[in-house]
Structure 1
């Protein structure tokens, strides 16, 4: 047995997959911690990342491939299932890795983590897979089942999307959710200009291009954005381009007094602050219910050079009237807690952790926050509601219900600098993952009469 088997990417992948899918660890955070702790080489870090994301993204497909080789009456440990799924993923999706290498190390992992019986069990299944091959997806005749298994999307979400947008659009969405997410950053106009930061990044050797969604966003086609001088100098911040549209649609004025009701980690807060001028008394009040997240908002504001325009404090947005007077704010942003279904490409485990019931329960929180902040908006002011989900239960349905409760508000069409989906009939703006290969996002703009 390899004495260092527990430090190999395949062994570490099985451990992390078990933690993510059984205990709820976030894949991106877990990966970063392991890569740093184990001091993995770029090659090993790449293989670890590939296996972890690959298995999570394709879990239902891989389970379909594995099912014929496992006795339904035999219950296996969760980590053993993750070991087998990771081996199948490598066999089916990573054609540059020899099957012999996958088998040898998978068997060594079974022996190191388990016992002789588990080693024999894993060995038998792997050799059976090699002899017979995996069952083709074309054998799945039911259309919804085929969509669910081939895209590895839980059935409830497939059915919800079909109800919302129809079968054709659902197919398009699900065809893109397992692609590698684009690395996008927002240019911080408080410290630089778009043209200058593009020039600086090109000089550093980064391959970048501008987003079609918003003039503030740049794509990193290669290289890690936080390693750049521009990032370290606070000239850019990592932020998905869809998320930038929420603040962009608010049309912030330099003298505005703004409430960011659910602010951490501060991406949208600092985007708002970027447009303000403290000399004109422009300020954004940024709220979060956790003290450590308030500190994170302050840290980001300081790095980006907008700290004097940000007032961060620990407060549940549902209690906003205990701290702020009626009709205090010119504009309010409620970037509401949500299911995060729009982030599937970036956090693939979300689709297994969330349910339709979760989405319905979140409605209550979202409604409570909107009801609480509404009285603190000035007459003629604007309230922007946004989520990083694509489910109507948390988006337009929440807005429609709010408007029934608050006759002093009306919804107007959400507009963006690049006139995204300007010809749509809907007043709200929904960005689906297949539209621009960005995160899924929803924005609604309300005006207080």
Structure 2
């Protein structure tokens, strides 16, 4: 299945291991295998290494490409790596990057892939490592790779082709039907759009857009969120505009729960599950501190509370944010009843809506996790329900797309709290305005943004 129409571009072998994008990618992949989040591990690695823009792009593509296609890559490598559990994790990751480049990228010639991969095996390992990697690469080049279509079971074939574990495929097909499940699966391995949120508190929108241009960032307006932009060129985190707090990195769908809150300048708001503070600072952008508007963000861990505070400082909204270490399930023991005009519960969830941006989640989370999380989600809603004022609004959101954590939680909450009723979720762009449900579900294939669920509850007068 190799693409042989490759550009014969020269490759330099004079780079040190530390500045080689392939080696950086391998290191990040190993960290993810050990439990790190791909986005955090990659961002930290890129800050620690001095890579060119071109090498940053290649490193990023290798990390996400291998993670997105890992089951497929393992399937292809299986005939050539007889005992993968005996192979060091970094060597497996190195082989996966090589197969990914050869089979799923089109602009890198075979000799470049082989030479770079073998050189890295020799530099980081020993002569035995070099011989092993060389043997695998030459064997797969000579023998070719097994065609996925030879897998007889249709569900196993889907699982391998899209690198999504079978239980998630089965759940999506049951809940959404074969056609929608297929569209979602196809979309998950497409590149994630890079998006930012303009900081309402940083000044005039036009002035911020001018500053983005001056930071050599190119962008388009988001079709999903009012304050969102899609970056089409440049590295936002490395820009002066980011350091100045003119924007923050945030997926377009993740901006929607705060839009649905309809925050007013004088509101008292509770963000019950706040870290790292993206939505907390978004809420704060709508508040007028001089008129008493304030948002309180909660998290379980000191280091995450510190993240909220750091983001508040960078985005110039520290005067209207309090960050507290507190389990949201104990919020009713800490705050007085009817203390808040608005409450956001962006609940801990399985994260299945993030598979494009955090592809490792598909291998780490299970359906059993989804059921356990449902209990936690309901406990948080139960705890914050008394804290919202009459006629006040609670927005419940998740970054997952399975009903156990979404529809089922929403219906169970209203059933057990007769003093609450559904309110129809509305967003700046009036997304899916013709839907029949009061809640809004964004699937990964809808707008190429993260999958999200947003539901509103109003406390009766």
Q: Compute the TM-score of the two structures, normalised by the length of structure 1.
A: 0.93
State the 1:7 CA deviation.
5.3
Which residue of 2 is the match for residue 211 of structure 1?
A: 222
Q: 1:6 to 1:291 in 2, by over 3 A?
A: closer
Look up the SS of the partner of 1:424 in the other structure: coil
1:432 paired to 2:446: no
State the 1:38 CA deviation.
3.5
Which residue of 2 is the match for residue 406 of structure 1?
A: 417
Structure 1, 229-238 or 439-448: larger mean CA deviation = 229-238
Q: Report the count of equivalent residues.
A: 448
State the 1:145 CA deviation.
2.2
Q: 1:270 to 1:7 in 2, by over 3 A?
A: closer
Q: From 129, 133, 148, give the equivalent of 2:159.
A: 148
Q: From 277, 281, 297, give the equivalent of 1:266.
A: 277
Which residue of 1 is the match for residue 7 of structure 2?
A: none
Which residue of 2 is the match for residue 103 of structure 1?
A: 114
CA contact (8 A) 2:289 2:320 kept: yes
Which residue of 1 is the match for residue 386 of structure 2?
A: 375
Alpha-carbon distance in structure 2 between the residues aligned to 1:360 and 1:221 = 38
Unaligned 5+ runs, structure 1: none
Which residue of 1 is the match for residue 369 of structure 2?
A: 358
Structure 1, 161-170 or 278-287: larger mean CA deviation = 278-287
1:44 paired to 2:55: yes
Encode CA deviations 1:143-176: one digit per residue, 9 max, x unaligned.
Answer: 3223211111111111111111111111111111
State the 1:96 CA deviation.
2.7
Which residue of 2 is the match for residue 16 of structure 1?
A: 28
State the 1:3 CA deviation.
9.9
1:69 paired to 2:80: yes
Alpha-carbon distance in structure 1 between the residues aligned to 2:133 and 2:242 = 46
Unaligned 5+ runs, structure 2: 1-12
Once the two structures are superposed, the pairs formed by residues 134-283 of structure 1 within 5 Å of their partners are 134-283=145-294
CA contact (8 A) 2:65 2:100 kept: yes
Which residue of 1 is the match for residue 342 of structure 2?
A: 331
Alpha-carbon distance in structure 1 between the residues aligned to 2:239 and 2:16 = 34
CA contact (8 A) 1:255 1:283 kept: yes
Look up the SS of the partner of 1:208 in the other structure: strand
Q: CA RMSD in A?
A: 2.3
Look up the SS of the partner of 1:89 in the other structure: helix
Alpha-carbon distance in structure 2 between the residues aligned to 1:141 and 1:89 = 24
Alpha-carbon distance in structure 2 between the residues aligned to 1:358 and 1:333 = 22
State the 1:219 CA deviation.
1.3
Alpha-carbon distance in structure 2 between the residues aligned to 1:11 and 1:131 = 25
Structure 1, 402-411 or 102-111: larger mean CA deviation = 102-111
1:59 paired to 2:98: no
Look up the SS of the partner of 2:202 in the other structure: coil
Structure 1, 79-88 or 148-157: larger mean CA deviation = 79-88
State the 1:94 CA deviation.
2.8
Q: 1:47 to 1:418 in 2, by over 3 A?
A: closer
Structure 1, 291-300 or 194-203: larger mean CA deviation = 194-203
Which residue of 2 is the match for residue 290 of structure 1?
A: 301
1:90 paired to 2:105: no
CA contact (8 A) 2:341 2:388 kept: yes
Alpha-carbon distance in structure 1 between the residues aligned to 2:220 and 2:58 = 27
Q: From 121, 138, 141, give the equivalent of 1:127.
A: 138
State the 1:61 CA deviation.
1.1
Alpha-carbon distance in structure 2 between the residues aligned to 1:233 and 1:125 = 49
Look up the SS of the partner of 2:79 in the other structure: helix
Alpha-carbon distance in structure 2 between the residues aligned to 1:99 and 1:73 = 24
CA contact (8 A) 2:18 2:49 kept: no
CA contact (8 A) 2:215 2:241 kept: no
Structure 1, 8-17 or 179-188: larger mean CA deviation = 8-17
State the 1:4 CA deviation.
4.2
Structure 1, 326-335 or 76-85: larger mean CA deviation = 76-85
Which residue of 1 is the match for residue 38 of structure 2?
A: 27
Q: From 310, 316, 319, give the equivalent of 2:321.
A: 310
Structure 1, 171-180 or 25-34: larger mean CA deviation = 25-34
Look up the SS of the partner of 1:197 in the other structure: helix
Alpha-carbon distance in structure 2 between the residues aligned to 1:74 and 1:292 = 35
Q: 1:102 to 1:406 in 2, by over 3 A?
A: same
Structure 1, 382-391 or 204-213: larger mean CA deviation = 204-213
1:397 paired to 2:441: no
Alpha-carbon distance in structure 2 between the residues aligned to 1:223 and 1:388 = 26
Q: Compute the TM-score of the two structures, normalised by the length of structure 2.
A: 0.91
